[in-house]
């Protein structure tokens, strides 16, 4: 597949409702994984009050509510995206990308995660990183932020499946039409 066709199909993918839904679903999974981790920490803290609480209270008061608001915002903008209004979902994705600044302001992700089974952290962090990548792809495409061939770099966008991209061809369109 030539570069021009690949770029066009990636752009179509990154603003497709299917891909946007993947982002919104991922955001919901972030909140679920965070809730599960926090509940497990609270349970373990009852069993052993000497655990390293670190910035857990900040996560209760600021971190978790912020993420939950963001997930709700993504859901609301998904409904608008289905009607062709994409700027809200781009803003939502940019906000998720900016979450790292918010996390820094409450002292980072926190040592409290190390007090519970690592599977809780893995679930939260891996989902967060994957969803952030999807969101960035959406935001950069809608906002036209891609530089040159940057959209083709899998280190930025994540894995690119050329076979899957073919599903973004329009009816009666061929790769030659995009060359």
pLDDT band for position 164 (cuts 50, 70, 90): very high
**0.85 surpassed by pTM:** yes
Average pLDDT value for the chain:
95
Torsion sign (Cα): 51, 52, 57, 63: negative
- Hey, where are the domains in the chain? 10-165
pLDDT band for position 67 (cuts 50, 70, 90): very high
Please state, in angstroms and rounded to a whole number, the distance separating the CA atoms of residues 38 and 141: 34
**Lowest model confidence (mean pLDDT) among 106-110, 126-130, 147-151, 164-168:** 106-110
- Judged against a pLDDT cut of 90, whether residue 106 lies above it is answered with no
What confidence tens digit (pLDDT) does each residue in 4-28 have?
999 999 999 999 999 999 999 999 9
Q: Report the 10 Å Cβ neighbour count for 118.
A: 9
Query: Which residues have C-beta within 8 Å of that of residue 151, sequence separation ≥ 6?
Result: 7, 10, 11, 140, 141, 157
Angle formed at CA 138 by CA 169 and CA 177, multiple of 5 degrees: 20
pLDDT band for position 107 (cuts 50, 70, 90): confident
Predicted pLDDT at 24:
98
């Amino acid at each position: 597949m030539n570069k021009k066709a690949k770029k066009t199909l990636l752009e179509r993918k990154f603003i497709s409702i299917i891909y946007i839904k993947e982002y919104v679903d991922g955001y919901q999974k972030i909140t679920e994984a965070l809730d599960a981790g926090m509940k497990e920490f609270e349970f373990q803290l009852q069993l052993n009050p000497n655990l390293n609480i670190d910035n857990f209270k900040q996560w209760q008061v600021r971190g978790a509510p912020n993420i939950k608001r963001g997930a709700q915002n993504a859901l609301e903008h998904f409904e608008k995206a289905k009607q062709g209004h994409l700027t809200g979902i781009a803003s939502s994705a940019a906000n998720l990308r900016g979450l790292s600044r918010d996390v820094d302001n409450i002292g980072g992700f926190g040592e409290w995660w190390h007090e519970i089974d690592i599977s809780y952290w893995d679930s939260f962090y891996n989902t967060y990183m994957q969803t952030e990548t999807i969101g960035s792809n959406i935001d950069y495409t809608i906002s036209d932020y891609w530089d040159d061939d940057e959209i083709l770099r899998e280190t930025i966008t994540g894995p690119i499946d050329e076979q899957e991209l073919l599903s973004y061809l329009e009816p009666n369109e061929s790769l030659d039409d995009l060359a």
